Amino acid sequence: MAQPQKSASSLPSLGRDVCEDFLINEARLLDDGLFDEWLALFTEEARYWVPSEPDQESPFDTVSLMYDDRRLLETRVRRLASPRIYSQEPRSRTSRMVTNVTIEDASDDGTLVRSKFVMVEFRRNEQRLFAGTYFHRLVSTQSGIRIASKRVNLLNCDAPLDGLVVPF
């Protein structure tokens, strides 16, 4: 999951419009707090990654704001539903916009989709603004489009930040 590079490929990819619709729906699930439904968008072997450094090459030799395999992502989502998740009492409200969607690459591994996002988070009298770039590796399955990997490059990933609890 290094910084994805654009490469020539002759394999058919998912269409840009289909991918954009998928991303808009994903953002909506997150804004609506439907985290189980969000989790269901990921494949069984998916990774979800929010690096701690710009251009971070690996999640294994450098710390990450979030780096989850399926087991950890399920744990993260289950915690979000806990009535005792004090860092979400009160709950965050979020509003996301996903734009500038482009198809970067297509291969047997799926279609690599790049997009820009802005997420505003409001919680307990404070509003925080997050922005950055998403890289989704999307695959077609019998049950629809699924996320094989998602990388979130936060503009301020190395700033001093209060806790990040709601996924990007």
Partner 1 sequence: MQVQSAQDLSRLVQPARVHRSLYTDPAIFELELERIFGTAWIYVGHESQVRDSGDYFCTQIGRKPLIIVRDAEGKLRALHNQCAHRGAMVVASDKGKTDEFQCCYHGWTYHLDGRLKAVPLNHGYPGDFDTKNPKTSMLQVPRIASYRGFIFISQAPEGPSLEDFLGHMTTSFDDLVDRAPDGEVEVAGGVFRHAYNGNWKLYLENLCDAAHPWFTHRSSIDAAQQQKDDVYSDGSGEIAIRQMRQNGAPYSFWESQVGIWTYPNGHSYLGDYHDDSKLVAAMKDPVFRDYIAALEAKKGKEEARRILEVRRWNSNIYPNLSFMSQFQQLRVVHPIAVDRTVVHTYCFRLKGAPERMFQNTISFANIVNGTGSLVLTDDLEIYNRIGLGLLSEGAEWIEIGRGFQSDVPDEHGGRRGKNSTSEVYIRNMFDAWSAFMLPGRREDAQSRKAAVS
Contacts with partner 1 by CB under 8 A lie at 44-45, 47, 50, 52-53, 56, 59-72, 74-76, 78-79, 82, 84-87, 89, 158-165
Quote the least distance from Cβ 149 to partner 1, whole Å.
Answer: 11
Q: Which is nearer to partner 1, 123 or 136 (CB)?
A: 123
Whole-number minimum distance, CB 73 to partner 1, in Å?
9
* Residue 16 beta carbon to partner 1: minimum distance, rounded to whole angstroms: 29
Q: Is the peptide bond before 4 cis (omega within 30 degrees of 0)?
A: no
Helix, strand, or coil (residue 119): strand
Residue 26 vs 68, nearer CB to partner 1:
68
Q: Which two tokens stand for residue 122?
A: 């409001």
Question: Whose Cβ is closer to partner 1: residue 20's or residue 68's?
Answer: 68
Shortest separation between residue 140's beta carbon and partner 1, angstroms? 19
Distance CA 13, CA 131 (A): 27
Least distance from partner 1 to the Cβ atom of residue 36, Å = 13
Report residue 21: phi and psi, to 5°: -60, -40
Report strand pairing: 126-141 vs 144-154: antiparallel
For tokens 């094989």, what's the residue? 148
d(CA 55, CA 149): 17
CB-wise, 17 or 44, nearer to partner 1?
Answer: 44
Q: State how far the Cα of 123 lies from the Cα of 68, in Å rounded to an integer.
A: 24
The residue among 72 and 97 lying less far from partner 1, judged by its C-beta, is 72
